[in-house]
Amino acid sequence: MPNISPANDTIKALMVLLLVAAWPFANFMYVNADVAFEFWHVVGYGAGTFVFFLAVFSAVKLIFRRKTSLHISLILCAFIIALFNFDNILLLGEEAGNIRQRYSGLVWVVLTILLMWAASRFANLSKAWAISVTAAAVMFVVPTVGYVVQELAYASQSAAPSSEPGISKPLAGVPEVRPNIYIIVPDSYPRADVLRSVYGFDNSKFEAQLRARGFKVSDKSYANYYTTFLSMSSMFNMEYHDKIMRPEGATANMLETLGAFGYSEKKHENVTIGNSNFVNALKSYGYKYVFSGVFHCDDSMDYCFARSWIFIPQNLSLLTPFDVIRSFAKWHFNWDISVPALMGTPLYLELPEIMASRPGMEISPFYMYAHLMLPHAPYRFHADCSEIKEEVFVRDAFVKDAIPYFTGQVECLNSQVIAAIDEIEAQDPGANIIVQADTGTIVLDAFHTPIAEWRDEQFEEAYAILSAVKLSDSCMDDIYDSYTPVNLTRIVLTCIDGVERPRLPDISYMVNGTWELEDGQPIGKVVHRDGP
């Protein structure tokens, strides 16, 4: 290499290291441009990664004083590239059909060593810096520009539904005074019979409390889809999805690795949050939209109290070997799913906090949608709602080891829901209140079982969900036993505006971790009610 001053060599070396350390995070944002995430969270993890490798660089520099800064930097860059390409080794193995996950760690180690050796040899070339900084800049700039272009293109589009399909004129005029609407969605809350058979938990007390308050609690309620975004976007658009697409480039192996969050297209999340037929119809009648929960705020909301969900560390870790190492060493260390806060800030809004933060009655009429994380993991509360102080190490959110923690959170949430209902009815008599789960759970492993091999109990656990409804007295007879979310919102809206909306067939479309689709639809379905 030509003679370069140590200071100049270090600056050049750090420039390359910075670009390469930032590359996986720029690429992460580009690949996930259709998914809602907090930009600054990703930037924060990228900055942390650079600081970590800067410390490693400094330590190695102190030990190997005779090596140039660029030499050390390029070896570290090779390691970073290998580290964040572990997912591609899994994809390559699946396509080749001969690299099993059990060998992927070994394959990765061998490839990493070879790449670091090649970087060490490359660093001796006279134009090593010019070539490496150009390559690193391209690696960083291309996905960054792609992300910006996609965001600008998306921002210029209007995703608002133009009108509701298939409705008739009001039956008897629109009432002058409309009730406020509260939809409380507990995440992954199975129906009582599933809680009894799968979890050994008796939920009859909670159901009795709801019925005593005038709620109709369905014994035959099912989700239309598994996964939050498919289920809730269908519910709030009051329609089934015309076409479902697998995540671009994701094979069955990677979809199973990604689990329930393997498909969260921004268009479905935006419908779930508020850009839907249901919300737009209510707004046309003067309703204010109040949102609280685990998603981010957007322009559809008049009032928003939310914390975006923080799965970014988990999703980023899937690019590396850490998740696979954890799964094979699960008897030594497991995922701590009790973490209640990040840097002192609670990850999720709980129902009591939501109730305390909601606006007053002066904004009536309003529609309030509260999407809770409970009873889903992270496991944060005991049955009496006291905070879990100890670390909870189980293999996943829905495994048999987690059952005591899950049922504890169910019991805690039950008390919070009853308290919220009592508060609403004391302050807002005549309100329409719906407690509606998005999906069930997957302790029996339906998500990783081929649809053709699903047992009845697997389907019931994943799709049989809590649903309790209290509407205006004149509308309660419209609540039939086998309704599903896609028709529940039609019933609620008809109760508000008197517009007759035909009922769709009540269908559960079977979704698992490999997204078995045919012509854009899941290959399996269960019809609960075939006609109006």
Which pLDDT belongs to residue 161? Answer: 44
Distance CA 325, CA 321 (A): 6
Model pLDDT, residue 510: 93
**Domain termination site, one of 112, 140, 155:** 155
Range of the domain at 100: 6-155
The model's confidence at residue 90, banded by pLDDT at 50, 70 and 90, is low
For position 156, what pLDDT does the model report? 55
Residue 280 has pLDDT above 50, yes or no: yes
Burial class, 249, CB count within 10 angstroms (exposed 0-12 / middle 13-18 / buried 19+):
exposed
Per the model's pLDDT, the better-predicted residue between 283 and 95 turns out to be: 283
CATH of the domain at 299: 3.40.720.10
**Which range, 88-102, 186-200, 365-379, has the best average confidence (pLDDT)?**
186-200
Q: What is the pLDDT at residue 416?
A: 98
Note whether 280 and 314 are same-domain residues: yes
Structural domain count, the chain: 2
User: Are 145 and 187 found together in one domain?
Assistant: no
pLDDT band of residue 392 (cuts 50, 70, 90) is: low
Decide if 13 contacts 70 (C-beta within 8 A).
yes
Instruction: Determine which of 60-74, 410-424, 453-467, 479-493 has the lowest per-residue pLDDT on average.
Output: 60-74
pLDDT interval class at 254 (50, 70, 90) = very low
185 and 149 co-located in one domain: no
Is there a single domain that holds both residue 513 and residue 387?
Answer: yes
Q: Is the pLDDT of residue 262 over 70?
A: no
Q: Does 163 reside within a domain?
A: no
Q: Which secondary structure element, helix H or strand E, spans residue 506, and what is its range?
A: strand 506-510
Length of the chain equals: 532
Q: What pLDDT shows up at residue 313? A: 56
Q: What pLDDT, on the 0 to 100 scale, is given for residue 512?
A: 84
pLDDT band at 400 (very low <50, low <70, confident <90, very high): confident
Tell me: do 186 and 131 sit in the same domain: no
The residue-averaged pLDDT of 5-13 equals: 79
How far is Cα 354 from Cα 370, in angstroms, rounded to an integer? 8
DSSP state letters, 394-440: -SSSSSGGGHHHHHHHHHHHHHHHHHHHHHHHHHSTT-EEEEE-S--
Looking at the structure, do residues 96 and 203 belong to the same domain, yes or no? no
For 133-170, the pLDDT digits (tens) are 999 999 999 989 988 887 776 665 444 444 455 444 44
Q: Classify residue 1: in a domain, yes or no.
A: no
* Within-domain flag for 367: yes
Pick the range with the lowest mean pLDDT from 183-187, 267-271, 313-317, 428-432. 313-317
What's the pLDDT at 516? 82
| Cβ contact 438:369 at 8 Å | no
Choice between 94 and 369, residue whose per-residue pLDDT is larger:
369
Residue 229 has pLDDT above 90, yes or no: no
Question: Do 141 and 267 lie in a common domain?
Answer: no
Least confidently predicted of 249-253, 283-287, 370-374, 466-470? 249-253
Q: Are residues 512 and 445 in the same domain?
A: yes
Which tokens go with 114? 């070879």
Give the separation between CA 245 and CA 19, rounded to whole angstroms: 33
Query: Is 167 part of any domain?
Result: no
160 assigned to some structural domain: no
Cα gap 375→84, rounded to integer Å: 33
- Alpha-carbon gap, residue 397 to 441, rounded angstroms: 9
Q: What is the pLDDT of residue 335?
A: 41
What six digits make up the tokens of 417?
């829901």
**Tens digits of per-residue pLDDT, 155-165?**
654 444 444 55
More confident: 313 or 423: 423
My answer on whether 84 and 137 are in the same domain is: yes
Q: How confident is the model at residue 388 (pLDDT cuts 50, 70, 90)?
A: confident
The residue whose two tokens read 């709602």 is 385
**Burial degree of 16 (CB within 10 A; 0-12, 13-18, 19+):** buried
Averaged over 203-225, what is the pLDDT?
A: 97
For 260-276, the DSSP string reads: GGS---HHHHHHHHT-S
Same structural domain for residues 196 and 147?
A: no
- For residue 65, the model assigns a pLDDT of 82
**Is 171 contained in some domain?**
no
pLDDT band at 250 (very low <50, low <70, confident <90, very high): very low
Three-class SS state of 250: coil
Q: Is the pLDDT of residue 73 over 50?
A: yes
Predicted confidence (pLDDT) at residue 91 exceeds the cutoff of 60: no
Q: How high is the pLDDT of residue 21?
A: 92
Q: Tell me the residue type at 154.
A: Y
* Backbone CA torsion sign across 226, 228, 231, 234: negative
Q: Domain for residue 176, yes or no?
A: no
Ranges 18-27, 216-225, 415-424: which has the least confidence: 18-27
- Distance between CA atoms of residues 318 and 41, nearest Å: 16
**Residue 346 predicted with pLDDT over 70:** no
Q: What is the pLDDT of residue 147?
A: 85
Which pLDDT value is given to residue 158?
A: 41
Q: In the predicted model, what is the mean pLDDT of the chain?
A: 81
Say yes or no: 136 and 213 in one domain.
Answer: no
Burial class (CB in 10 A: 0-12, 13-18, 19+), 2: exposed
| Model confidence at 366: pLDDT above 90 | yes
Weakest-pLDDT range from 326-330, 364-368, 511-515:
326-330
Residue 173 lies in a domain: no
pLDDT higher than 70, residue 363: yes
Residue 189 sits in the same domain as residue 148? no
Asked if residue 201 lies in contact with residue 195, where contact means CB atoms within 8 angstroms, the answer is yes
CB of 472 closer than 8 Å to CB of 432: yes
User: According to the model, what pLDDT value does residue 146 have?
Assistant: 86
Instruction: Give the end of a domain, one of 121, 155, 189.
Output: 155
At which of 155, 190, 217 does a domain end? 155
